[in-house]
């Protein structure tokens, strides 16, 4: 137990996942249990997931009459899939950092025709959230990234303002 504590003290879920293949026997089993617990804690911390405007993706030319698009929309509407996707990129220290997943890279196969642009907002340690844009792989990345980064900073300022009002 002390060996695992020394190795993983303060480790993130991502670091543990990278190092789990290096463990064997009981250490590996305990490591997997710890990662499962970290995910459960993150799920409760993540709160609700809200989707809006997802049907607009179907209006894009490459998705008209496309079974791939319908599959992607169904996958995104399945809250557990979306929750897992958001959890895998969640880090409260990343306020304002933008993550771009082209062709659903590193995510579910159902999202291979889509790209996602994700960022976080809020006040680390108090209140945080995540914003995202889902669209076709040919989306206007520059404009989408600029917009989502702006919204992240705007929402972060609003959250900090509300928190400072509560203190007074």
Q: How many domains does the chain have?
A: 2
At 90 the pLDDT is: 57
- Are residues 93 and 157 both part of a single domain? yes
- Are residues 147 and 64 both part of a single domain? yes
**Full residue range of the structural domain in which residue 23 is found:** 2-45
Asked if 98 and 119 count as a contact pair (C-beta separation under 8 A), the reply is: yes
At 93 the pLDDT is: 56
- Are residues 59 and 99 both part of a single domain? yes
Grouped pLDDT means (10 residues each) for the chain, 168 residues: 74 77 82 75 60 73 74 73 67 71 73 83 77 84 91 87 73
- Are residues 10 and 58 both part of a single domain? no
At 145 the pLDDT is: 92
- Are residues 38 and 86 both part of a single domain? no
- Are residues 27 and 54 both part of a single domain? no
- Are residues 91 and 146 both part of a single domain? yes
> Would the pTM of this model clear 0.85, i.e. be above it?
no
Distance CA 88, CA 13 (A): 9
At 167 the pLDDT is: 63
Token pair of 25 as six digits: 């026997």
């Amino acid at each position: 137990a002390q060996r695992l504590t020394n190795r993983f003290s303060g480790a993130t879920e991502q670091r543990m996942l990278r190092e789990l293949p290096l463990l064997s026997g009981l250490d590996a089993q305990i490591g997997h249990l710890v990662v499962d617990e970290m995910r459960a804690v993150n799920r409760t911390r993540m709160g609700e997931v809200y989707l809006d405007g997802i049907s607009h993706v179907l209006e894009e030319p490459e998705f008209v009459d496309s079974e791939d698009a319908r599959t992607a929309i169904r996958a995104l509407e399945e809250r557990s899939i979306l929750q897992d996707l958001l959890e895998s990129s969640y880090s409260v220290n990343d306020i304002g950092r933008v993550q771009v997943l082209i062709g659903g890279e590193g995510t579910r196969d159902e999202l291979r025709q889509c790209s996602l642009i994700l960022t976080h907002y809020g006040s680390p340690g108090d209140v945080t959230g995540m914003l995202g844009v889902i669209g076709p792989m040919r989306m206007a990345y520059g404009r989408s990234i600029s917009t989502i980064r702006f919204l992240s900073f705007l929402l972060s300022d609003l959250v900090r303002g509300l928190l400072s009002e509560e203190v007074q």
